[in-house]
Amino acid sequence: MPRVLITDKLSEAGLDLLRSTPGIEVDVRSGLTPEQVREALQEADGIIIRSGTKLTSDLLEGQQRLKVIVRAGVGVDNIDLDAATREGIVVMNTPAGNTTSTAEHTIAMLMALSRNIAPAAQSMREGKWDRKAFTGTQLAGKTIGVVGLGRIGQSVARRCRGLEMTVLGYDPFISAEKAAEQGIELYRDVDELVVKCDYVTVHTPLTDETRGLINAQRLAKMKRGVRIINCARGGIVDEDALADAVEAGQVAGAALDVYVSEPPKESRLPALPQVLCTPHLGASTDEAQEQVALEAAEIISAFLTRNEVRYAVNMAPISAKELAGVKPYLDLGYRLGLLLSQINRCAPVESAKLTFRGDAAGKPTRLVANAFTSGLLSSALQENVNIINAQLLAQERGIEITESTSSDKGDFSTLLSATVTCEGRELTAAGTIFGQDFLRLVRLDDFQLDAYLDGNMLMYSHRDRPGLIGAIGTACGKHNVNISHMALGRRKVGGDAVAFFNIDNEPPAEVIAEVAQHPDVTDVQVIRLPPAGAPLPWLGL
């Protein structure tokens, strides 16, 4: 019988659901040392944790029985995801459970900040009656920028609309149609959005791309008197830059629930009278605690009793035999997604259609489609985009991913074709597998070619003229850029053409500038793919 270990406090509603599930044994233990957790995991098929338990690589290594970890909450920074993946352990979280509570806390902070609720209440405790000192500003008619339109961001935006605010939103992938349905004026550039806002609230994950997203430069561009809210993740807003902007009067006020370090002992912000701080209360409601517990219980029960995977943040379990057969196709799909995400200069992608022909049609196409989608989204959503959650992330942003299959082999024994649509325009790339591991790009729109799908690639569109290849080679040679392979696609002699140079090292800007200046070159860019044979990022193999 599968055993579920619970090492942190969990709502009784979640425990009751687990205990009432046939075929599940529940083992509740709290206050364990790391070594005791390691020992307890040896007798567990699954574990539910909150923030109190840290599952490090030392605890997870060699856990042959453990199959699944469920985090009752969103953040999984207390779980070593790489270690879990290496051990074949699925990690899942509960992204929906605290959406409403976090959105409501954001609105509470927004209103309290605007009406000086906290300092006015403190003044009353001190026996004062000073109405003029706490004159605020109304929200109706003001413009708020919501940076990040995931579940919580969209929930905040809907509530702001109810407050009669004008809502602007930034998200690199949500479709314009989905944003318009919710009354959000969509922007693709953060800098274009923030200059128009009276309030800015952030709701992105914390990644290398979003760390310091609201920095000194962007704060300086905003309207004087803007107000900033962060109930997402500490570090998205540069705390020192925000403190400087508040002290200088550029920012009229800020409301923070999250911090780079918690508690924020070194931060200047809590001491500033214009700043409202709370101790990470976004999900601290009875309802949210119960909801994440119920969601965690449902997720782990479904996995252990029905092999159902929901909200995974790493790869799903797969046998060695299955992996050997499908891994080249996962790699091909992932690289085609990466390729199209870089070639496509239209944002956002509205849809993608994948066509599997020949041997590819007999593979697990949904898994390969998820690998493609993870590549397509990874440039904007670098954290936890994988073959399990890629489809969900695409759906949330209004991107439709469809699949079709055909047993007709055509010119290749196996072929995967992907077409992305954006603003009515289509871009198609198709790839195949030679042998077991050699991945090739064989089509780009209606150009036929044979390019290696690995490493750095110099791609340029041009008019087919004598001497051009030599000029490109000379430009690369002058700057010690070695060309390992070249592929050319053209419709007719002397007409439009496209070429890919596989190069052994990153080309300096001088090479790109020189190639771009050639009179027969119409476009040039560098495509960056993993090296040949590189492990898939969510396989850990």
CB-based contact 203:184 (threshold 8 Å): no
Show the CA angle centred on residue 449, arms to residues 448 and 453, nearest 5°.
130
Q: 386-411 burial by CB neighbour count: b if 16+ within 10 A, else e?
A: bbbbbbebbebbbbebeeeeeeeeee
Q: Is 131 exposed, middle or buried, given 0-12, 13-18 or 19+ CB atoms closer than 10 A?
A: exposed
Q: Among 314, 345, 296, which residue's Cα sits nearest to residue 46?
A: 296
- For the annotated catalytic residues, the residue numbers are 233, 262, 280
SS3 state of residue 301: helix
Residues paired with residue 69 on neighbouring β-strands, in sequence order? 47, 91
Phi/psi at 487 (nearest 5 deg)? -135, 135
Contacts of residue 249, Cβ cutoff 8 Å, sequence gap at least 6: 224
Q: How far apart are the C-alpha atoms of 6 and 112, rounded to whole Å?
A: 37
SS3 state of residue 64: coil
CB-based contact 348:400 (threshold 8 Å): no
